[in-house]
């Protein structure tokens, strides 16, 4: 029961007889022997046959307790028990401490077994997990490949730093090279670089460290070349993108200007003049309206009031941005004027405005100027835009002539 179910028993190992511990250790060697004895003695295997692992993990403390009761002159027997206990449960802190202490004791007394290389590796594995290796023990380590092969890269680097402190720089370099190989196998690139440079720092005559450093520098140089090429490609792409951005920006500006130039389509409007003061509206002055678009033609138009020589009278002029044939109706108070006019370029390239045939009394301007667009046709176009609801009639022969 002690061998199989030590973790469930309330009895403390320190209180048990040594002979009982010896019997338990014997049964830990063979699950079949433990099962057979239980059936003969208890009439049942006590559930030992159902245990998945044998020996059970918590049975390692039985071996540690038994080893602690042995005489000091039985170092090898103690060591065998503790190695067995570590094999059962290598995570038990008490097991690791006891094993590390016993290996160090044997090494200092030079009482190692024929498997000393394995024990040295075991010591390094156990000791480097918890604390530094004592200096007197560190000086006796052979540090052969067999002792280092099962250590992790981080453990090897810790050992290399201990060796540097102990003034064993050459051995520290060998261990650092082993650490670099372990880091390389685990694909820990940054730690690999650190281990290589540390090994070369410890011993510049170490061929393995020098070769690794040369290969490392070559690899870094190759990566630098790749980065330079990538950077050049990125710069070229950036320049191309900047050029494209400039083109797009220029195009956006052009579209914004075009959008600003094109006012909302207007077929009817009233120019509200109630806010204007015409008290001193005399010859040489003028009043302009905002620009608006003639229907959906894309042609801008605007109105202009100019005072006449006769007192309290003004003339209305109409202007457009492009050559166009337009028919429109204007109304001020009781005055109304419907005209069809072809705005064409003059010899100097400018467009001539069109005035109202009759003078407008300034007193009538307070009610505003009403405007209705009836139809419009751009120069060079065969299409004539007709105001919604104005009806359609066949164009005259003059209207069929394209404008220059």
pLDDT tens figures, 135-163: 777 777 778 887 787 788 888 888 889 88
SS3 call for 21:
helix
Give the residue among 119, 125, 121 at the shortest CA–CA distance from 102. Answer: 119
pLDDT at residue 1 is higher than 50: no
Q: What is the mean pLDDT of the chain?
A: 78
| Residue whose pair of structure tokens reads 């009639």 in the numeric block | 393
> Which of the residue ranges 8-12, 55-59, 127-131, 145-149 would you say has the lowest mean pLDDT?
8-12
The pLDDT score that the predictor gives to residue 360 is 84
Report which secondary-structure segment, H or E, holds 208. Answer: helix 207-261
The pLDDT score that the predictor gives to residue 364 is 85
Contacts of 28 (CB under 8 A, 6+ apart): 3, 34, 54, 55, 59, 62, 63, 88
Report which secondary-structure segment, H or E, holds 76. Answer: helix 75-88
pLDDT band at residue 111, thresholds of 50, 70 and 90? Answer: low
pLDDT at residue 131 is higher than 70: no
Contacts of 398 (CB under 8 A, 6+ apart): none
C-alpha distance from residue 361 to each of 111, 290, 317, 357 (Å): 131, 22, 15, 13
pLDDT at residue 89 is higher than 80: no
Mean pLDDT in residue range 166-170: 88
**Using the 8-state DSSP alphabet, how is residue 321 labeled?**
S
pLDDT band at residue 402, thresholds of 50, 70 and 90? Answer: very low
**Using the 8-state DSSP alphabet, how is residue 382 labeled?**
S
Domains in the chain, start-ordered, CATH in brackets? Answer: 2-219 (no CATH), 265-400 (2.60.210)
- With contact defined as beta carbons under 8 Å apart, do 372 and 268 qualify? yes
Distance CA 360, CA 84 (A): 121
pLDDT tens figures, 301-335: 899 988 887 778 888 888 888 899 999 888 888 88
Phi, psi of 89 (to 5 degrees): -150, 95
Q: Which burial class, exposed, middle or buried, applies to 201 when counting CB atoms under 10 A from its CB (0-12, 13-18, 19+)?
A: middle
Distance CA 286, CA 210 (A): 92
pLDDT at residue 35 is higher than 60: yes
pLDDT tens figures, 238-292: 988 988 999 888 888 877 776 665 556 678 889 998 888 888 888 888 899 998 8
Mean pLDDT in residue range 186-205: 87
């Amino acid at each position: 029961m002690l061998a199989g179910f030590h973790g469930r028993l309330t009895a403390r190992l320190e209180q048990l007889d040594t002979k009982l511990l010896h019997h338990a250790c014997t049964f830990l060697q063979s699950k079949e022997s433990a099962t057979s004895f239980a059936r003969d003695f208890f009439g049942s295997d006590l559930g030992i046959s159902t245990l998945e692992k044998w020996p059970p993990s918590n049975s390692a403390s039985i071996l540690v307790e038994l080893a602690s009761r042995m005489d000091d002159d039985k170092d090898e027997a103690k060591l065998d028990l503790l190695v067995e206990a570590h094999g059962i449960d290598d995570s038990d802190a008490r097991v690791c401490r006891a094993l590390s202490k016993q290996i160090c004791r044997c090494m200092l007394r030079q009482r190692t077994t024929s498997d000393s290389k394995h024990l040295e590796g075991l010591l390094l594995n156990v000791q480097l997990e918890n604390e530094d290796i004592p200096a007197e023990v560190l000086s006796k380590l052979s540090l052969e490949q067999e002792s280092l092969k099962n250590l992790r890269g981080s453990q090897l680097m810790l050992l290399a730093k201990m060796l540097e402190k102990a003034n064993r720089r050459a051995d520290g370099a060998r261990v650092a090279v082993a650490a670099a190989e372990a880091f390389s196998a685990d694909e820990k690139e940054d730690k690999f670089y650190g281990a290589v440079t540390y090994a070369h720092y410890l011993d510049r005559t170490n061929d393995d460290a020098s070769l690794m450093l040369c290969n490392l520098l070559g690899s870094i140089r190759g990566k630098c070349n790749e980065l330079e090429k990538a950077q050049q490609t990125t710069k070229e792409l950036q320049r191309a993108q900047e050029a494209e951005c400039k083109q797009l920006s220029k195009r956006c500006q052009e579209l914004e200007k075009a959008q600003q130039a094109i006012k909302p389509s207007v077929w009817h409007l009233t120019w509200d003049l109630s806010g204007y003061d015409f008290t001193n509206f005399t010859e040489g002055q003028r009043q302009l309206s905002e620009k608006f678009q003639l229907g959906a033609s894309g042609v801008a138009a605007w109105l202009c009031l100019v005072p006449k020589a006769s007192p309290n009278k003004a003339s209305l002029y109409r202007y457009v941005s492009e050559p166009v044939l337009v028919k429109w109706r204007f109304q001020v108070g009781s005055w109304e004027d419907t005209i069809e006019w072809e705005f064409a370029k003059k010899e100097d390239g400018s467009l001539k405005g069109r005035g109202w045939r009759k003078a407008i009394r300034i007193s009538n301007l307070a009610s505003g100027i009403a405007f209705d667009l009836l139809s419009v046709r751009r120069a060079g176009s065969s299409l004539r835009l007709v105001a919604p609801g104005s009806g359609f009639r066949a164009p005259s022969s003059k209207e069929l002539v394209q404008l220059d």
